[in-house]
Each structure stands twice: as structure tokens, then as C-alpha cells.
Chains A and B, each alone.
Chain A
Amino acid sequence: MPYRAIKQLPAEEYLAPGHDMCAGCTVPITVRLLTRIAGKNTVVVNATGCLEVSTTPYPRSAWKIPWLHLAFENAAAAGSGVSAAFKVLKRKGLTDKDVKVVVLGGDGGTADIGLQSLSGAFERGDDITYVCYDNEAYMNTGIQRSGTTPFGAWTTTTPPGLLSAGQRTWKKDLMGIVIAHRVKYAATASPSHIIDAANKIEKAFSKGGPAFIHFLQPCVPGWKIDPSLGVKIARLAVQSGLWPLYEYEDGSVRTTVQVAKRVPVVEYFKLQGRFKHLMNRPEELTLIQNYADGLAAKHGYGPLVPASQ
């Protein structure tokens, strides 16, 4: 039975409060949701990044389920190792548990430096659920661009200047890459659409094979946003067509959240300091709006409706 309301979600929490993530960070929303659904018999493998350093400052840890961090670029391989271990230990009667393996990596740890190990795990069909929390830059090291930083965005390594207007490349199509591995399940998700995300997480766990969920995660210092606006901004990303919500299953792609009336990308950009320099560059904004229109068309989103006053 799919979830229809937040109160139907399992209540037990596995990420304790008191961790060191920024006030207003949207990543803990994803992690709490993910682990509540995953439940007790879960092992989390975490790539190096914001989540890892902020939740485990020794001797404290926010994790109430077993958690492993080895390095930045090998989380998927580590997930494969844990998964294989429980499989064979069960076969040999050395454990009686069926353990879910959930891997969590940032966009850098997943789409850039970790892409090789991700590809290996998915191509082999290993039984892991990999969740990429995409805050669209290397935040832990101080907001450097990654392959998933959107076109036009400011980062410390794509500073706008006389000769540049921020990031000059388009967001890497990580979902496309993942789907090309013919994984059992893949989906995009957003902390603004909790029920949609919850059902995707549930599905991912039910597949018994490689599953992937790609969350967009507004980041307070990295996106230069007001800490109270993370979820709202995530919602605008969906409503602008820049972050369509869809899933891939049994060889086909299905849009899971329809947007009848789209908002212009500037509405999404206006709340983020990282796009401030674009506000007086109409040619850049047009390029990005065209890009969003293309994504929206692919997912059957409705027409653009100028911001209502």
C-alpha cells in the first residue's frame, strides 16, 4: 500500500538530533525519511562529504543504525562489500538477519569521483539502494563546482567575473547514466514532496537489486539561501521544470508528480544568491529557461505561467 499521508510513515527515527549540519539544511529531511522507512535492520554506508563529517564528530554520532564510512569515491563499492557479506553470512548461518544496505553520497561522491564505483556496483546488479543527495556542489570543502552544478551558478571555482557568468556547463545527466545501467529502480525526489519520495524509497527497497534515488537538496551557504526557505526552494525547482520528479522501472520512465502550471526559472533563482549575477543577464536566463522548457516538455508539464502577484 503506498503512503498517502505523512502520519502513515514509520515513526521510529534513526538519525538523532544534535548533529552538526547547518540550520536549514535539507539533507537531514531526506536522511530521516530514508532511515525511518528503511528501519532497524539497515546498514548505512556514507561517502565523505557534509553528511558524513557533520553526523559523526567522534565520540558523538547521530546514527542509531550501523554506519560505515571509508572514503570519498568508494561508497558504492563499500556498499557492495557489506551487501555481499550479509548475503554469505546468512547462507552460512552466521547471521539470521536480512539487512538493507543504503549508500548515501553527495553529488561529488556520486556523479564525479565516485562514478566508477557506482557504475561497477550497478552493472554487477549488487543489492544496494544508493541515494545521492545532490546539493549541486562540493559543499564540505567550501562550495566548489561539481559535474551537477547547474549552468550559471556561482561556486568558488566558477566565480562570475568580467569573462564568466558562473558555471559554464549543463548539469550532468546522472539519472540518464544510472538508467543506462538497467538498474532495477531509479527515481528523482525532492524534500518538498515527501510522500512522493517516501513511496520511491519504499519501492527502491522492494526490488532486491540495485536501486537509485537522486534527491535535490537546497544548501544554505552553497546556494546562498535563507535557512527557512530550503523546502520552498526545492518545491520551486520542481515547479519550474528544472527538477522533474519521475521514476524508472521495468524499462520505462514515468513522471510521478505533474506540474500543471510551471513557474519561470527566475522565480526559482530569485531566492538564491548563487544566481544573483544572472539577474541582469537576460541572454543567460533565456538559455536556462529554454533548457527548463525542454525538460518540462519531456515530462508533459503544463505551460509556463508568469508569477502571480
Chain B
Amino acid sequence: MTSRLGLSGNTAAAYAVRQLDVDVVPVYPITPSTTIMETLAQYAADGRMDAEIITVESEHSAISAAAAASAAGARTFTSTSSQGLLYMHEVLYVTSGLRLPVVMAVANRAISAPINIWNDQSDVFAERDTGWIQIHAESVQDVYDRMVQAYRIAEDSRVRLPVMVNYDGFVLSHAHGPVTIVADEEVAHFARRVASPFRLDPDSPISLGAIVWPDHYFEVKYQAARALEDSRRVIDEVQNDFRGMTGRKYELLRPYMAEDADFLLLAIGSVCGTIKTAARKMRSEGLKVGLIGLDVYRPFPGKELMRLIGGAKAVGVLDKAFLPGSMAGPAYTDVTSALCRYGVNVPVHDFVAGIGGRDIKVEDVQTMYRVLEKAKDNARFDREIHYVGLRR
């Protein structure tokens, strides 16, 4: 039995958390993620969810309490944005290093200074390499669906890694959209618990978080990295089962008019909606353009991506984050690594836009596609980042 509700990204995430029978929820407010925890606190206050909400004094403690509760065998959730995510930095590694299946929703927001509460993806990209599975939503429906999938992935014995569900601040966290909801019992069945043998249990005591010397550290870190790489198989399985339950199809990548496209944009999050509008326009003008949404970003689906972009004449990567002093935006560096590794020879261009809440308009996207069209016969990569929508 399904129903349709008007929810924001935050309330959709909270709705899923309630259905997922989460046990421990440490929370600390930060715009634009705050309304998730407000909603959860209300659920708990109304007896609609049986969880321990811990109103911690910082995000550092939020993720620490979450990791510890997970180590004790509880299903654990927290959420944050921007400065809060950065404040967790140290413990994000600890969580993945100890293989704790915490799930966290991140309403993506720009980072300070200057302080700015609006959306870009600098926060998650600063934490890109912390060993978490990182999934991005394009719509409010995605937020809900990816949350429903998250524990199945995280708690799978082949994975045992934390999962971050990302969605654009305000654009998705606060804007309401229709969400098709799965019935409580179906979610409960879909995401039934898997007890971990590696938990703090007085009947079989383990030491978790030991100091590991050079003779083992490399192997321990490799195993976690390997599990992250291999999690794509489990993600696939969970996506398939989810499709079986709901009819909604999810994949690591989300191609749109990509199959025969000469000019492809690769992008992350809600901007994909704008890109689709632009793409349809340009198609009607005769330019064969397309889009690939990078939905699952860690593990990076390089191989799958190469299969999809091999036939394009030029590819653009849209980064809503940038790495000062580096030669390119973060997604661009991942995409070009994959191109080199798989020997795929396509010109790739880097667009940085949408920083600190700056709108990306349909015309901006058209500009990007035109750059690709013009560049198709030129150098393989261009020398510079295209900052779209920047005044200088």
C-alpha cells in the first residue's frame, strides 16, 4: 500500500527514519538540516517513534555518540550540514574505519568564510574521501527512497560502512514536493535488521578502536577501502529490490538522453532538473545533448561512467564546489582519473557554478553545452575552469 504526501527533503528523510525503526538519534541543529531533527523530536515526543534522541552539544559529539551507539548494536541516524559536517571530520574517518553502519542525511550547504547558509556541495566534497558511501538525491522523492535503501546497504555484512544521503540545502531540504511513501510494514520488512557480530556485547567482549601498528594498519585500511569499492554490488542489489517493491528504478548513475548524445554534462543533485530542461530545449534546436547524474558518488562508478560516455564528442563536468589552488573541481578530478584509467579519449571540460546559492539558470546550462560544442575538435582538455555565473 502506498500513499502520496507533500513533504520537504528534510521531512521526507525524517519520515523514513521513523519507518526504519531507528534506535538512537544524536542531533545538533544547523541550517538547512535542522527541520529533520525537529520532526524526529516531535515523532518521539508523540510516541510515534521509539528512539533515544540525544540532544548533544556539538556535531563532533553527534557523530561520536552515533558511532558509539552503532558500535553497541543500535541502528543510528544523525543529520547535519556545512560547518557541522566539517566539525565531524575527524570522527567521519573513525566511523568508516571501525565499519560502523551509521546513516546520516546531509542537506548540502556552502562553507564559511564568508558564512553563507545557501546551497552548494563544498561540504560533502570536503568529506568526499572519509570512507563513507555517498549518495546524492536529485528530488525529494530520491531523498526518501535513498533513506529507505540506506541501512540495507550500510548493515550488509559485505559492506558494514556508514552511508551519507546528500541533498541540496533549501532547494531540496525545504522545498515541498509530492512523495510516494511506502507503507510502514513494507519498509520494516525491506530494511529488517542484521545484527552485527562485531558489537559491544558483554557475552562476547571485543575491543573496538585498538591502536594498530604498521604491521597491520595498511591491511585494515585496505579492507575498508575494498569494502567501499565492492559495496557497488550490494547497492545494485538493494536498488533492484527497491525497484521490485516500488517500481522506482535507481542506479549508480542516472543517464538522461545520454545514449546518443554528442555533448554530455555530468552533474550532481537538484541542478539535474534544470539541466534536463536545458537539454530538451537544445535537443529541439538539433543539438544532441544529454546528462548523467552522478547519484552514487562514493564508491565512484568510474567503470560504469566510462561505458556511458565513451561515444560522446565532448563531456562537461559541473562542480558545485571548488578546490582552491587545485587545477580543477572535485568531480572533474574523479572523472578525468576514470578517463585515464580506462583509456577513454574524450575532451572534458570543467564548469564551476552554483557556488554559495548562486542560481544556475537554464541559460547557464545552455552556455555550458555550447562550450562543449565549440571545443569538440580542439584540445582534449581545456586549460581552465569555466566559472559560470561569476562576475569578474
Contacts and interface: CB of A to CB of B under 8 A. Distances in A.
Given A74-B61, A116-B57, A119-B57, A85 B51 contact: no
Contacts of A81: 24, 26, 54, 64-72, 76
Nearest to A52: B211
Interface in B171-223: 200-202, 205-213, 216
Interface in A11-27: none
Interface stretch (A37-45, A203-211, A215-223, A280-288): A37-45
Chain B interface bracket (under 10, 10 to 19, 20 to 34, 35 or more): 35 or more
Given A84-B74, A88-B24, A92-B23, A78 B202 contact: no
B152 interface: no
Interface string A281-302: 0000000000000000000000
Contacts of A155: none
B64 A91 contact: no
B74 A88 contact: yes
Given A42-B202, A52-B211, A74-B91, A82 B71 contact: yes
B60 A84 contact: no
Contacts of A303: none
A70 B69 contact: no
Nearest to B200: A66
Contact of A79 (B52, B66, B68): B68
Contact of B64 (A53, A74, A86): A74
B293 interface: no
B94 interface: yes
B359 interface: no
B19 interface: no
Given A74-B60, A74-B91, A82 B209 contact: no
Contacts of A76: 61
Nearest to A64: B205
A107 interface: no
| Most chain B beta-carbon contacts within 10 A, residue among A61, A65, A85, A124 | A85
Given A58-B216, A99-B202, A123-B57, A80 B50 contact: no
A84 B24 contact: yes
Nearest to B210: A56
B211 to A, nearest CB: 5
A167 to B, nearest CB: 28
Nearest to B60: A74
B211 A80 contact: no
B58 A116 contact: yes
Interface in B44-59: 50-52, 54-58
B201 to A, nearest CB: 6
B155 to A, nearest CB: 14
A103 B70 CA distance: 17
A28 to B, nearest CB: 16
A120 interface: yes
B260 interface: no
Contacts of B52: 84-85, 87-88
A61 B207 contact: yes
Contact of B68 (A45, A59, A61, A92): A45
A88 B23 contact: yes
A63 interface: yes
A59 B213 CA distance: 9
B74 A85 contact: yes
B210 A57 contact: yes
A88 B70 CA distance: 12
Nearest to A74: B64
A57 B201 contact: no
Nearest to A41: B202
Contacts of B68: 45, 68, 70, 77-82, 85
B73 interface: yes
A63 B207 contact: yes
B61 A85 contact: no
Interface of A: 40-43, 45-46, 52-53, 56-59, 61, 63-71, 73-74, 76-82, 84-89, 91-92, 94-95, 97, 99, 116-117, 119-120, 123-124, 126
6 contacts: A57-B213, A63-B207, A82-B72, A88-B51, A89-B74, A117-B64
**Closest 5 pairs between A and B when the two form their complex, measured CB to CB:** A81-B68, A120-B57, A69-B209, A81-B65, A77-B61
Given A77-B65, A84-B74, 12 more contacts: A57-B213, A59-B216, A63-B207, A67-B206, A67-B209, A68-B68, A68-B209, A77-B68, A80-B56, A82-B71, A89-B72, A117-B61
